[in-house]
């Protein structure tokens, strides 16, 4: 259904049968601003009415009842819809005599319908296509070196030039799992765009929302002052900068230390977890072994050490001074504050 400017109702078809752990769906249920319930219940002004089909959040008993809207959309009988993929896309051209991943069976033959079969039919008809999590965006853990499935991200499968029926590129919201509000905020922007109330979401060249992934972990980290002072943790029990125990934050695009994980709390390095670059196209291979010092981290931490040690000492002296009250705060029988009666009006 359309209004003058955009859609009044829209379907969200969410398939998590990519190579995944379903962690992105679970993560998104924790979103508070906005909550997925608020979007589905129409509590966010300016959005179309949303019909969500996600197996974890489905009120159906599953089976054909759950599959019905997906089958209808694949036939072209359900629109408009946003197609959300969770999990990486296996290469069914190299599946031997079997298949890597399926979603329902063919009603006539009973043969499994592969994820790729669904993508081929849903993606071109979708008003927008959204990749939830790093696996769907860039392949993620399943696509690491040595994997047997040849799996990949959605843009690898559909092509970087893919455009949806709504003329949008794929919208990637990476994270392993995706940070709840990062996903819901992006989906809300896409929905607002669908309603005709917002321009398309601005994306970077890896198809990520620019306003979410434009800064590094390091630029938002609670521990960044320790880095600047050349004060580094030697183990995971320390509150200091973790670059020497495996943190890749200075070169990773992610807002989690600023945003937190749930309700603003957490955010990997803030709470003692090294950043392993889970939002990045090069994850995980380019960040392994996870707990070793990143190669660039050795050099930068070595260079900042003498500067940081000097600055830390100077700040210590100043801090000591500032922790003392001015010398004229006393109860002797003489005023030493510098008060000069000549300046009285
Ligand atoms: S813990 Fe990581 S992100 Fe935080 S200041 Fe150190 S290197 Fe940067
Ligand atoms: S801080 Fe690093 S490990 Fe944590 S979510 Fe962001 S990219 Fe992933």
The full set of domains in the chain, from first to last, is 9-213 (3.40.50.700), 215-315 (4.10.480.10)
Measured in Å, residue 281 CA sits from the centre of ligand 2 at 13
Q: Which of 181, 259, 264 is nearest to 219 (CA)?
A: 259
Q: What percent of the chain has pLDDT over 70?
A: 99
Asked whether residue 4 carries a pLDDT value surpassing 90, the answer given is no
- The predicted pLDDT at position 3 comes to 52
Question: Hey, which of 206, 276, 282 would you mutate to test ligand 2's pocket, going by the most ligand atoms within 8 Å of its Cβ?
Answer: 276
Relative to beta strand 112-114, strand 102-105 is antiparallel
Q: Let me know the angle formed at the C-alpha of 8 by 5 and 11, rounded to the nearest 5 degrees.
A: 125
Mean predicted lDDT score pLDDT of the chain? 95
What tokens were used for 28? 């998104």
Asked whether residue 56 carries a pLDDT value surpassing 60, the answer given is yes
Measured in Å, residue 177 CA sits from the centre of ligand 1 at 20
Torsion (CA) 191, 195, 196, 200 in degrees, nearest 10: 10
Q: What is the pLDDT of residues 90-147, one digit of tens each?
A: 999 999 999 999 999 999 999 999 999 999 999 999 999 999 999 999 999 999 999 9
- The predicted pLDDT at position 297 comes to 83
Measured in Å, residue 86 CA sits from the centre of ligand 1 at 29
Please give the number of the atom of ligand 1 that sits closest to the Cα of 222. 4
Strand partners, 111: none
- The predicted pLDDT at position 127 comes to 98
pLDDT band at 255 (very low <50, low <70, confident <90, very high): very high
With a Cβ cut-off of 6 Å, ligand 1 is lined by 217-218, 221, 223-224, 227, 241-243, 247, 249-250, 269, 275
Listed in order, strand segments (DSSP E) in the chain are: 9-15, 49-53, 81-86, 102-105, 112-114, 128-132, 171-173
For the CA of 246, the nearest ligand: 1
This prediction's pTM: 0.92
- The predicted pLDDT at position 154 comes to 98
pLDDT band at 345 (very low <50, low <70, confident <90, very high): low
For the CA of 269, the nearest ligand: 1
With a Cβ cut-off of 6 Å, ligand 2 is lined by 175, 217, 252, 254, 256, 268, 275-279
pLDDT band at 177 (very low <50, low <70, confident <90, very high): very high
The residue nearest atom 8 of ligand 1, judged by CA position, is 218
Please give the number of the atom of ligand 1 that sits closest to the Cα of 241. 6
pLDDT band at 238 (very low <50, low <70, confident <90, very high): very high
Residue 241 gets the label, from left (phi > 0), alpha (psi -120 to 50) or beta, of beta
Asked whether residue 333 carries a pLDDT value surpassing 90, the answer given is yes
Please give the number of the atom of ligand 1 that sits closest to the Cα of 225. 5
Question: Hey, which of 222, 279, 280 would you mutate to test ligand 2's pocket, going by the most ligand atoms within 8 Å of its Cβ?
Answer: 279
- The predicted pLDDT at position 341 comes to 83
Asked whether residue 18 carries a pLDDT value surpassing 70, the answer given is yes
Contact 285/237 with Cβ under 8 angstroms? no
Question: Hey, which of 217, 244, 252 would you mutate to test ligand 1's pocket, going by the most ligand atoms within 8 Å of its Cβ?
Answer: 217
pLDDT band at 300 (very low <50, low <70, confident <90, very high): confident
- The predicted pLDDT at position 267 comes to 93
């Amino acid at each position: 259904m359309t209004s003058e400017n955009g859609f009044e109702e829209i379907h969200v078809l969410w398939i998590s049968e990519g190579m995944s752990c379903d962690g992105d769906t679970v993560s998104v249920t924790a979103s508070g601003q906005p909550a997925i319930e608020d979007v589905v219940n129409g509590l966010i002004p300016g959005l179309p009415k949303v019909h969500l089909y996600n197996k974890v959040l489905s009120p159906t008993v599953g089976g054909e009842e759950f599959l019905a809207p997906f089958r209808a959309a694949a036939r072209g009988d359900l629109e408009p819809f946003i197609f959300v993929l969770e999990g990486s896309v296996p290469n069914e051209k190299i599946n031997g005599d079997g298949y890597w991943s399926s979603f329902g069976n063919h009603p006539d033959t009973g043969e499994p319908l592969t994820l790729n079969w669904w993508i081929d039919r849903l993606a071109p008809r979708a008003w927008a296509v959204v990749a939830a999590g790093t696996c769907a965006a860039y392949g993620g853990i399943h696509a690491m070196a040595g994997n047997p499935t040849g799996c990949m991200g959605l843009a690898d499968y559909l092509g970087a030039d893919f455009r949806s029926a709504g003329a949008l590129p794929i919208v990637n919201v990476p994270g392993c799992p995706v940070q709840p509000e990062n996903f819901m905020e992006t989906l809300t922007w896409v929905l607002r765009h669908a309603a005709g109330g917002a321009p398309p979401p601005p994306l970077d060249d890896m198809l990520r929302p620019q306003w979410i992934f434009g800064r590094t972990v390091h630029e938002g980290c609670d521990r960044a002052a320790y880095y600047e002072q050349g004060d580094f943790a030697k183990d995971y029990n320390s509150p200091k900068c973790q670059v020497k125990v495996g943190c890749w934050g200075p070169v990773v695009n992610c807002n989690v230390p600023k945003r937190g994980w749930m309700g603003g709390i957490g955010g990997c390095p803030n709470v003692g977890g090294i950043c392993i670059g889970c939002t990045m196209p090069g994850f995980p291979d380019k960040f392994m072994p996870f707990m070793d010092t990143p190669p660039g981290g050795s050099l930068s931490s070595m260079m900042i050490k003498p500067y940081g040690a000097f600055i830390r000492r100077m700040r210590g002296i100043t801090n000591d001074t500032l922790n003392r009250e001015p010398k004229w705060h006393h109860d002797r029988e003489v005023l030493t504050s510098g008060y000069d009666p000549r300046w009285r009006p």
